[in-house]
Amino acid sequence: MAPAPRAQAAALVDGMIDHLQHLKESGQKSVRLDPDVLGQLAKPIAGQVIPGERAAVPPQTAERRAPPPSAKLPGKPAASAAHASGTALGAIAERIAVCTACGLCQTRTRTVPGQGATRPDILFVGEGPGADEDAQGLAFVGRAGQLLTKMIKAMGYEREDVWIGNIVKCRPPNNRAPSLEEMAACLPYLKEQIGLLQPRVMVCMGATAVKGLFETATPISKIRGTWLSFEGIDTMPTFHPAYLLRNPSAKRVVWQDLKAVLEKLGKPVPQG
């Protein structure tokens, strides 16, 4: 019985390998092949499918079965972009975890890179981590964070729908405000994150956050409620949730600021 086509091919390949190995061991560095031989080698054996490869598909069939490389499938781009953004954000968090750009690295327990959706409508920026955040490595999880969660829910969102972070990624000792040098050392991380997240709107909470992003000494009481632009992103400055814990009467004006954010997004104000 004649050998099967696949067995013929295997025997031919094995023979070629042995011959080339022998030539190599003999010191020969090149092999000259006749063009006709190369043409024969390029022809597949009829009916043969090489293991690990798919059988050839007629061009017309291939075009019907698969879109061209540049085509985008419905629903895929956003998911792909979000995945890529999440991966890049994770890489930034790893760099933050070992950062020694300022003295805050000497007293921190954990870095707090920020967390939330990778394609959020809203990005909230505060001052810096407190004791609870320093212990858990998460932004806004203490009392001020609990109030922020209520504010976010009042807007019709969940925490997982937005992104929450701070100007600095390490807790300043005794919860003091971060210095200009500390903010300058940390700001590049936040700018990278904002560039990846591409929020539709930002909410800048508190005087320190406004100072860090906009390099202004204007009191927050004078600037809150007024739209600013950070690198092309509409930004609403408002009071920090910690301030609201000390001054509950200010909640009313903060709610006005947050309603302006919803209006900017074209979202209805939740009732009740």
In a domain, 152, yes or no: yes
Give residue-wise pLDDT tens across range 208-224: 999 999 999 899 999 99
Asked if residue 35 belongs to a domain, the reply is no
Tokens 């059988």 locate to 55
Q: Is 77 contained in some domain?
A: no
147 belongs to a structural domain = yes
Maximum mean pLDDT: which of 14-23, 25-34, 238-247: 238-247
Has residue 270 been placed in a domain?
Answer: no
User: How does pLDDT run across 70-97, given as a tens digit for each residue?
Assistant: 334 444 455 666 677 788 999 999 999 9
Mean pLDDT of 11-40: 54
Q: What CATH number does residue 90 fall under? A: 3.40.470.10
Of the candidates 93, 132, 99, the one whose C-alpha atom is nearest the C-alpha of residue 114 is 93
Asked, for residue 42, whether it belongs to a domain, the answer is no
Q: Quick one: CA dihedral 246, 270, 162, 123, positive or negative?
A: negative
**What is the separation of C-alpha 2 from the centre of its chain, rounded to a whole number of angstroms?**
60
Please, which pLDDT band fits residue 36 given cuts at 50, 70 and 90?
A: low
Domain range for residue 112? 82-265
Number of other CB atoms surrounding residue 98 within 10 Å: 8
Total-model pTM: 0.71
Q: How many Å apart are CA 130 and CA 127, to the nearest integer?
A: 9
125 found inside a domain: yes
Residue 30 is assigned to a structural domain of this protein: no
Domain count across the chain: 1
**Which comes out higher in pLDDT, residue 79 or 69?**
79
Phi then psi for residue 128, to 5 deg, are -170, 170
- Per residue in 99-147, pLDDT tens? 999 999 999 999 999 999 999 999 999 999 999 999 999 999 999 999 9
Count of alpha carbons within 13 angstroms of residue 130, beta-carbon side: 10
